């Protein structure tokens, strides 16, 4: 497809989505606790690093999601970076299942936030700054603790899960 201008009547959300999908990412699951203590989590690929000192990360949350109140109100949450064999976990945390944590193995981080097992990395963060960003809310948060595991990551590109090719 050629150049599509936002001013053109032909601009449509689907082609914008497809163009954004050309940016390959990893997959994370953001986890926290709701006000009643129940665990909450969703699949997110808008995660990115922002700053090393202070250590800051960013991601965006759709304003329309049921999890919005929990993430707006919590003091801490965790970023779980998924491993290559965790595609089913990614699907689980983007699904309509009533309890996404049923049958899952996880440990507790700061404030009891869920840290999922088998990930490539965990970041436990302080929920401080949020900005309106169109139909999403941007979360800019400080990393308080992190852990890294020697595993290949799960990748996402052009609307599909991918795996790293072996190094030549």
User: How far is residue 40's CA from residue 74's CA, in Å, rounded to a whole number?
Assistant: 11
31, 32, 39, 44: which one binds ligand FMN (CB under 6 A): 44
Which element (helix H / strand E) includes 72? helix 68-73
Which residues are bridge partners to 49 per DSSP? 57
End-to-end CA distance of the chain: 32
Asked if residue 60 binds ligand FMN (CB under 6 A), the reply is yes
65, 69, 129, 164: which one binds ligand FMN (CB under 6 A): 65
Cβ closer to ligand FMN: 137 or 143? 137
Which residues are bridge partners to 137 per DSSP? 61, 132
**CB contact at 8 A, 50 and 42:** no
State the number of binding residues for ligand FMN (CB under 6 A).
Answer: 16
Cβ closer to ligand FMN: 13 or 168? 13
31, 32, 45, 92: which one binds ligand FMN (CB under 6 A): 45
Residues at the site binding ligand FMN, with contacts judged by CB under 6 A = 27, 42-46, 59-62, 65-66, 93-94, 96, 156
């Amino acid at each position: 497809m050629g150049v599509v201008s936002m001013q053109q009547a032909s601009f449509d959300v689907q082609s914008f989505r497809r163009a954004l999908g050309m940016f390959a990412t990893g997959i994370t699951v953001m986890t926290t606790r709701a006000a009643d203590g129940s665990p909450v989590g969703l699949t997110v690929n808008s995660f990115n690093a922002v700053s090393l000192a202070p250590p800051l990360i960013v991601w965006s949350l759709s304003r329309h999601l049921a999890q919005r109140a929990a993430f707006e109100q919590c003091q801490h949450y965790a970023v779980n970076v998924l491993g290559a064999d965790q595609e089913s976990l990614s699907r689980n945390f983007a699904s309509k299942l009533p309890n996404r944590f049923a049958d899952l193995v996880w440990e507790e981080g700061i404030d009891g936030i869920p840290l999922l097992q088998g990930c490539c990395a965990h970041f436990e963060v302080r929920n401080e700054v949020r900005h309106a960003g169109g139909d999403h809310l941007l979360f800019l948060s400080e990393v308080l603790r992190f852990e890294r595991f020697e595993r290949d990551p799960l990748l996402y590109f052009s609307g599909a899960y991918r795996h790293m090719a072996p190094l030549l």
